[in-house]
Structures are given as C-alpha cells and as structure tokens.
Chain A
C-alpha cells in the first residue's frame, strides 16, 4: 500500500521503510525553533536533561518576535535574559532585533526548513513549514528541550486528508480566502483534529510560496496536526538561494490512502470573512459590504509577506486611508520590509496614510504594539479573532485577506476589492 507525503516523511526520518496512521515513532528533527518569550525556559529545561551542548548549533533556531522592540520594562528584561542564554549556548542562527522577523517567516525564508524533513517550533503556527513540503509541527517547550538535547521528537502518525483544489483564482482572491472558506466548511477544530492536511491540485500548483505559507499556517486553527504542499518547481526556485543543504522531493504515492478527500473549485471562491469571536463563522464578503470598522491591521505569520504588501500597494496607490480608520502594517521580517521598501510598496502605503511598524508579531497576540481597546472594530488579515485576542475583550475582530483590508481601509467600510475602483 502506498503512503501519503506526511507518512513518507515520518517514515524516512524514523528509519522505517513504511508505517501507518496510529503508530508512534521517534523521528529525527531538522530544525528546532524557539523564540523570545519561551526560549529561556527551553534552554533551562534542556540543561536539566543533563546535556551541555545542543544536538546541532546550526539547527536550533532562535528568534525574537513576540517581544521586540520591548514595549515595557518586563519585556526588555525578558529579552536580556533570552539574549544571554542564546549566547551561552553559542547558537549560530539567532535572529534578534535588527535581523528579526516572525519566527515562522524566518524559518522558511532563511532556509531552515527543507522538503522531506521535520521541523518543530514552540509556537502554534509552526504548521507554516509545510509550504515547502516539510512536516512542520507546533510543540511545547518540553518537546523543544528534548529535541535540543537529542535531535528527536515523538509523533503519532496522523491520518491524512486531501484537499484537491481546482479552478482559476478570481482577481484579488487570495490563499487566505481559501483558508477561511475551509474553516467555515469544516468547522473549527472539528473533523480535522489530529489530521495531516494535504493541499494539491492545479490551483495549488499555481499558488506562490507566500500563498502556500498562508494556507499551511492556518491548518493549526483547523485543529490539524500539519498542513503540507508537495514540493515542485516553485519550491525549488524559492529554496535555491536560501540553503546549501541537500533535500529530496518527496510526494504522495498514487495509491496512498486518505481518511477523507475534499474537492474545492476556487473559480467560485470570493473574498471570505470570519466574523468576530469564531474563526469558523465565515461569510462571503457580499453579506458584509458596508460594515464599518476603525482599525485595519495587516501583518503576522499569516499575511505579512511581500505579496501581501504588493497587493495592498496596488489597491491603495494614489488613494487615502479613510479618516475614521487607523491602518497598521507590519512586515513579517526585516527581509520582507527591505524588499517592500525597494519595490516602493512601503512608500505608496505610507503616502496613503498607513502606519508601518517594525517586524514582530505586533498586536496579533494582543501583547504588543497596536493592541485593540474597548469599542474597537478591527478588520485584520491575521489568524485569530477570538474575544480579547488583540487586546480588549470589548473589541471585535473581523478576519480577512490583505486585499480586502486595503480596499476597505480606503472606504472606511468593508469593500469588495473585485469591484473597487483601482
């Protein structure tokens, strides 16, 4: 019997020829990522295991993203302790303030995730790594400490679910819309609990790496174990200048078995919005046209990439953000920031009246800059909208794509970018 891409990767990295869903294995880990607010605990736990050196100094990736630049003394002190512990362990790849980015963006963009391998991170959106044909998995600090010491992690082999995506993407419709559409279709953390989600089909083959990252990123919010897109020419082109390590193109066997298979035609998919409070309560944009809001936010590990800035710049060029709206944009990394500057996107967006903040998780987790206050209605291209997520419990968050946020920010109300005068 054939195996799915996830099963094959799990088998290959645990020294097995084959394995089946439900089996429990210890696998080799390619990279372990941890970041500022949990990192010190990882290293403390690692030390308590009786090891002095991490399994590979090049493969423990440390990133400052949730707390930078520190908005208060507590975070500044935590960052100092974090820097000290990273230095103590002589970690090669430390992306601190100045070279920072959101950890998941850094992991993929800097070539720390390779097709056919398994990488883990102490933040739930580590599923993003599936975009390059890897297994990316979110774990806690205990698993990170164990992997730092041994280069291994335990996994139960998940059942796979295939999403076959066909059709032609409509203008301004993005991978985010597909993510939200699937969220509404499957219901949040329902049928997809523990599953490996495989995205395939012509509409995925034509999808950029940025889009694939968005799609895999939000699989954690579906309750899935991982999301994955098989590596292809786009993957190869993307990784060519990012890593000198060798990697293999692993894909699913023709006769692989899936727990479920879903077919979605994106030709029918329009901009999609998740209603405040629940990710799986999604609506087509037509139902929300004219909904007012006062804060617009685009950034995060879900939608803070160059392609997202390009879409916004194209929509907002020569226009002005509505006077009743504050718009905050946060590139996902310093690299994205620089590329967006060079391409002129940042200039266009600042001229339009958007505020651009330095790369970080920003207000997405509600603990950093740009948080929501009482009464705020936020139109966000982030990944979560539960009550209190971005700060105040008395704020509401609508989730959508960057192109919808851009068109809507100009009008001051939810606007369909497909009909917006550009």
Chain B
C-alpha cells in the first residue's frame, strides 16, 4: 500500500519538459536527475529541487503523460529521485511507459482520475487491487491492474534486476 499527497498536472505533460534539453546528456542518476525534474513543466519548478521539495508521492495526469517521443530514462529516474512512487493518468506515452515498467515505477492507467483530484490531496494506492482512494475527498477509483510480467519486474525492482537474476541462475528468458 502506498500513501501520500499528489500533484495534478495539466494535459500533455511532455518528457521534454520533465527533463529539459540541457540535462539530456547528463548521467542517469535519480539524485542528480531529480534536482531539475519538471523544470520545463511549470516556471515554479524551474529552480533546483523545486519539484522535489514539495514532497509529493503521486502524480495525477490526464492524457499522454510524458509524451513527445523522447526515450531517455532520465525522465523516470528524475521522478523516482523526487520521491514519486506512482503516476496515475488517463494515458501514457509509449516510450516512457516502457521505461517506467523497466524501472519498476508504477505508471497506472485510470480513467477520469485527473478530474477527481486536486494538487495536495492525500491518496492511497493498492497495487494488488488497483484501487486508488482519494482520502481527502472520500472518493475511490478503479485503475487497470498491472499485467503479471509488469508486476514481476516491479517486484524484482526493475528489469535490470530481473534479467541479472535470470542470468546468474542460468535461466533462459522467454
């Protein structure tokens, strides 16, 4: 069970704005990437640690979260480094949806979640049932539960751990 406050974004938050151009060539490192995460999304986040210092646990978004076609993993590590434990959205962009699975960060698809939450609301997420509770408003949403493979990768702490373990045990990947 995860619990904490959420930040509600506008529609179409782009990967480009989550990690701005000048940090694309930096190392993939949660601590480092989180310093300037969201810098291009809102002017108020365009300061060192500005997003991170809010201490949000969840992000709630509408369509096409992390879109714009950028495959860099800094987007995911930046969010994780800032303390984000799950992102709930109506839809996600493919490249970052994949990266999130590979890092074990739940990107959870949930219809209309954006209309039922305000920044600062306290939410509770149960990954087993997919139920998201808005404690502040006393409402509840049913999200799409993770596919078995996605849950397995999540439990392993990401695809690197999942594959490393298989290689160490001499198991084939299929």
Q: Do A and B bind?
A: yes
- Residues on A lying within 8 angstroms of B by beta carbon are 24, 26, 37-38, 41, 45, 48-51, 67, 74-75, 78, 122-124, 138-143, 145-146, 149-150, 152, 154, 156, 188-190, 193-194, 220-221, 223-225, 365-367, 384, 386, 388-389
Q: Does B2 contact A (CB under 8 A)?
A: no
A150 touches B173 (CB 8 A): yes
A48 touches B159 (CB 8 A): no
A24 touches B71 (CB 8 A): no
- Given A142-B160, A145-B160, the answer on whether A189 and B73 have CB atoms closer than 8 Å is no
CA distance A38 to B93 in the complex (A): 21
B residues 56-81 in Cβ contact with A at 8 Å: 63-64, 67-73
CA distance A221 to B173 in the complex (A): 31
Least Cβ distance of B96 to chain A in Å?
9
Q: Does B95 contact A (CB under 8 A)?
A: yes
B173 touches A37 (CB 8 A): no
B71 touches A140 (CB 8 A): yes
- Given A124-B95, A193-B91, A367-B24, the answer on whether A146 and B70 have CB atoms closer than 8 Å is no
Q: Does B144 contact A (CB under 8 A)?
A: no
A142 touches B158 (CB 8 A): yes
Specify the chain A residue showing the minimal Cβ separation from B16: A386
A141 touches B93 (CB 8 A): no
Selected A-B contacts with CB under 8 Å, 23 pairs: A37-B25, A38-B72, A48-B160, A49-B163, A50-B167, A74-B25, A75-B25, A78-B25, A142-B99, A142-B103, A142-B158, A142-B160, A143-B98, A149-B167, A188-B67, A189-B67, A189-B68, A189-B69, A220-B95, A224-B94, A367-B21, A388-B20, A389-B16
Contact-residue size bin, chain B (C-beta under 8 Å from the other chain): 35 or more
B residues 112-133 in Cβ contact with A at 8 Å: none
B167 touches A154 (CB 8 A): no
**Residues of chain A contacted by B167 (CB below 8 angstroms):** 49-51, 149-150
B68 touches A140 (CB 8 A): no
Give the most central of B70, B91, B163: most A CB within 10 Å: B163
Specify the chain B residue showing the minimal Cβ separation from A75: B25
CA distance A289 to B159 in the complex (A): 51
B residues 128-173 in Cβ contact with A at 8 Å: 147, 149, 158-160, 163-164, 167-168, 173
B102 touches A143 (CB 8 A): yes
A140 touches B174 (CB 8 A): no
Specify the chain A residue showing the minimal Cβ separation from B15: A124
A146 touches B163 (CB 8 A): yes
CA distance A389 to B68 in the complex (A): 11
B24 touches A384 (CB 8 A): no
Specify the chain A residue showing the minimal Cβ separation from B162: A146
Least Cβ distance of B145 to chain A in Å?
14
**Residues of chain A contacted by B163 (CB below 8 angstroms):** 49, 146, 149-150
Q: Does B41 contact A (CB under 8 A)?
A: no
CA distance A199 to B75 in the complex (A): 31
**Residues of chain A contacted by B72 (CB below 8 angstroms):** 38, 140
Specify the chain A residue showing the minimal Cβ separation from B92: A193
B73 touches A24 (CB 8 A): no
B164 touches A49 (CB 8 A): yes
Partner of B21, one of A48, A143, A145, A366: A366
**Residues of chain B contacted by A74 (CB below 8 angstroms):** 25
Q: Does B50 contact A (CB under 8 A)?
A: no
- Residues on B lying within 8 angstroms of A by beta carbon are 12, 14, 16, 20-21, 24-25, 27-28, 40, 63-64, 67-73, 91, 93-95, 98-99, 102-103, 147, 149, 158-160, 163-164, 167-168, 173-174
**Minimum-distance CB pairs A-B, first 10:** A142-B102, A140-B73, A124-B69, A189-B67, A140-B99, A189-B64, A124-B71, A138-B71, A220-B69, A37-B25
**Residues of chain B contacted by A224 (CB below 8 angstroms):** 94
Least Cβ distance of A210 to chain B in Å?
21
CA distance A2 to B167 in the complex (A): 36
**Residues of chain A contacted by B28 (CB below 8 angstroms):** 41, 141
**Residues of chain A contacted by B67 (CB below 8 angstroms):** 188-189, 223
CA distance A365 to B16 in the complex (A): 11
Least Cβ distance of B73 to chain A in Å?
4
CA distance A366 to B23 in the complex (A): 12
- Given A41-B27, A143-B98, the answer on whether A386 and B68 have CB atoms closer than 8 Å is yes
**Residues of chain B contacted by A149 (CB below 8 angstroms):** 163, 167
A223 touches B93 (CB 8 A): yes
B164 touches A48 (CB 8 A): yes
Specify the chain A residue showing the minimal Cβ separation from B103: A142
Give the most central of A37, A45, A123, A124: most B CB within 10 Å: A124
**Residues of chain B contacted by A365 (CB below 8 angstroms):** 21, 24
CA distance A13 to B27 in the complex (A): 33
B160 touches A49 (CB 8 A): yes
Give the most central of B20, B71, B147: most A CB within 10 Å: B71
CA distance A26 to B162 in the complex (A): 13
18 other A-B residue contacts (CB within 8 Å) besides A37-B24, A50-B167 = A45-B160, A122-B71, A124-B69, A124-B71, A124-B95, A138-B95, A139-B71, A141-B28, A142-B102, A142-B103, A142-B160, A146-B159, A193-B64, A193-B93, A221-B69, A365-B21, A386-B16, A388-B21
